[in-house]
Structure 1
C-alpha cells in the first residue's frame, strides 16, 4: 500500500510573530493568513527491505536504518524521523514499523512560506491515513506543532501548522495552554480575484533560518523590551483590521494594513530587515508597488508586494532584474489531504 499526502504553503498577511510563545501565552495572539497552491508532499509505503527508510527527494538526502536500531531525530531528515518516531511512540506502542517515508516540497526551507511546518503537517496527515488514526484537523495541527516545537525543539510559532491543516483564508487566535481557535473566512469571489491580481510574490534568493529571529523576539518579551512588545501589540491589532478589510472588500485598507504591519514587524527584532530587503523594497515602490511585506519571520525568503493590477507587469519586470525570482500562485481553499494507492 502507498499513501500520499499534501499540505498547502501559506502567506502571512498580518499578525505573524504574535503566535510565538511567550507573547501569545501572556497577551494572546491574532494572525491572518491564506494558503496558496504550492505544497509540501509526503509519501509512505511499505519498505521492501524491511528497514526504516527516509528520503527528502528534492534535496537528494536519504538514510536507512534497521527497525530495531535507534536513530537520532536530527540532521537534514529530522522532520521525517521526528514525525515517524512520535507516531510510533504515541500510536504504535513504540514499535518501529518497516516503512519508506519520502518527501518533497514546492518551496525551499527558509522561504518564509511555512515550508518546514507544512512538511510536518503533510507527514502527520500521511501517517494518519496510513494507520487510519482518528485525527481531526485540530488534532493534526496540534500534533504537528508538538513534534516540531517540543520534540525537535525547533523555534517558531503556531500559525503554520494550522494554516496548512485547515487551508483557505483564516483568522487565528492563540492563547496560553496551547489553546487555538481557527476562524475560516468567507471571502467574496471578487475580493479573492482582486487580491490574487494585486499580489506579487518575489523570492529574494536567500533562504534564512528563522530560529535566530524568533529567539530574539522571545527574549524581547521575556526581558520586557517595551518597543518590541508594543510592536507585537500593533501586529495583533492589524490582524483584526486585516480580517475586517478582507471581509468588507476594502482593498486599499488591506494594503495600508499590510504596510503598517511590515513597519511594526521591523521593530520586533533587528535582523528582520536588511540592506538586500530594503533595496528590493525600494525598487518595488519605484515601479508601482504600494505595500510590501516579508512573508514569515523575516531576514530573507519571499517578499510580498501589492500593486494595482495594471502595474503588475512593470513591477514584475523590475523585480526580475534584482537577481531573485517571481513565483506565480493562486489562493487555495483546501487544507491538508491524503489518499491511498492500493
Structure 2
C-alpha cells in the first residue's frame, strides 16, 4: 500500500502570469503558499487481473489505455506502468473546482505515488514539471504552472516563470511575527460555487496569444502588484498587502465577465464593511473561495457565517508532495 498527499494552495500575488501564453513573451512572477489541506492518493496491488480506479466515479478496466480519467491515464503511460493488477483511489479535503489548485495537487500526488510504485526518487522541481507536462503539453489545458510547483515544493514561495519555460523558485523571506499574523488573519470562505479553471482561463489564454493589449496590460499590472506584495511581506506590512489584494481583485475582474457574479460581489462588499482590510477570489475566478485579510477576524467570521458562507481554517504546509506511507 502506497499513500501520498499533495497540498492545496492560495495565491498571494501575481496570479495569472504563470500561463505560457503570457510568460513565454513577458516572463511571469507569482507568490504562492501551500496550505494544510490535501489531495491523497492510495495505490496497491491486487490479486485479480483488473485495474480499479476510484475518484468521483469508479472505473474497472483491463489496461491503462481504457482509463477515462485523462490525468490518471496519461500519468500511467508516462511512467510506463503496465501492471494489470492494481487499485488506485483519490480523496481530497476540499472539493475540486474551488480555486485552490486541486487538479494539479491531484497530478502531483498521483505522480509521487507512481514513482514510489516504480521505486524511483523524484525531486520537487522534476515532479512539478512532469505534472505540467501532462496537464499543459499532453492534455492541452489552458492553465499555468503555479499550482504544480507550489504543490510539489510546499511552503511560501516566489516563482519566476521564464521565457525559456524554466521556473526559478525562491522561498519568501518572512519574519516569524509576520508568518503568525498571516495565519491568524487570512481567512477563507467557500462561496458555494465550483467551476472549471480551464473554462475561466481559456479567455485569458486566447487573448494573450493574440497579444490583446488590454489583457497584456492587465497582466503586466498584476505582475507589478506581485512584486509590491513581496516587498510588503518582507517588510511585515500586512495592511499594505491587504490593500494590494483589493487592487488585484478589481483588475482581475476586468479580465473576464465570468470572473465574478452578483453574489460574490455582495459578499465581498459585506466583508469589507465588517472587519476585512482586503480580499480577493482565489484561483481562476467564477467561484470557489473568497480570501480576506481581516483586521477584526472575529467580526468577519461572525458576519460571513450569518451570510451562510462556510469558513475553512488553515495553516501553511511546508512538506509539499510526499509519500505518507508505504507497506
| TM > 0.5 | yes
How many residues end up aligned between the 2 structures? 327
Within 5 Å, which residues of 2 pair with 1:251-330?
Answer: 251-308=238-295, 311-330=296-315
Q: Distance in 1 between the 2:47 and 2:325 partners?
A: 18
Shift of 1:97: 4.5
Shift of 1:20: 0.8
The alignment status of 1:71 with 2:58, answered yes or no, reads: no
Partner in structure 2 of residue 41 of structure 1:
40
The SS at the match of 1:165 is: helix
Shift of 1:80: 2.5
Q: Distance in 2 between the 1:47 and 1:176 partners?
A: 45
Shift of 1:340: 3.7
CA contact (8 A) 2:24 2:164 kept: yes
Q: Distance in 2 between the 1:241 and 1:38 partners?
A: 27
Q: Distance in 2 between the 1:193 and 1:99 partners?
A: 43
Summarize deviations over 1:97-140 as a string: whole Å, max 9, x none. Answer: 42211111111111100011101000111111121223211110
Within 5 Å, which residues of 2 pair with 1:44-59?
Answer: 44-56=43-55, 59=56
Q: Distance in 2 between the 1:215 and 1:341 partners?
A: 39
Q: Distance in 1 between the 2:54 and 2:74 partners?
A: 13
Residue in structure 2 matching 1:86, options 71, 78, 82: 78
The alignment status of 1:341 with 2:314, answered yes or no, reads: no
The SS at the match of 1:267 is: helix
Identify the range of structure 1 (42-51 vs 140-149) with the bigger mean alpha-carbon deviation. Answer: 42-51
Q: Distance in 2 between the 1:248 and 1:97 partners?
A: 55
* Runs of 4+ residues over 6 Å off in structure 1: none
Query: TM-score scaled to structure 2, two decimals?
Result: 0.95
Residue in structure 2 matching 1:112, options 99, 104, 109: 99
Shift of 1:259: 1.6
The SS at the match of 1:102 is: strand
Shift of 1:35: 0.8
Shift of 1:322: 2.4
Shift of 1:159: 0.2
CA contact (8 A) 1:54 1:81 kept: no
Unaligned runs of 5+ in 2: none
Summarize deviations over 1:216-275 as a string: whole Å, max 9, x none. Answer: 001222233222211100111111111122122111121122222112212222211221
Q: Distance in 2 between the 1:176 and 1:17 partners?
A: 15
The SS at the match of 1:80 is: helix
User: CA 1:10–1:249 in structure 2 vs 1: closer, same or farther (change >3 Å)?
Assistant: same
Unaligned runs of 5+ in 1: none
Q: Distance in 1 between the 2:58 and 2:92 partners?
A: 15
Identify the range of structure 1 (267-276 vs 30-39) with the bigger mean alpha-carbon deviation. Answer: 267-276
The SS at the match of 1:70 is: helix
Summarize deviations over 1:271-292 as a string: whole Å, max 9, x none. Answer: 1122121011011112111101
Q: Distance in 2 between the 1:70 and 1:191 partners?
A: 49
Residue in structure 2 matching 1:242, options 216, 224, 229: 229
The SS at the match of 1:112 is: coil
Query: TM-score scaled to structure 1, two decimals?
Result: 0.91
Q: Distance in 1 between the 2:23 and 2:237 partners?
A: 28
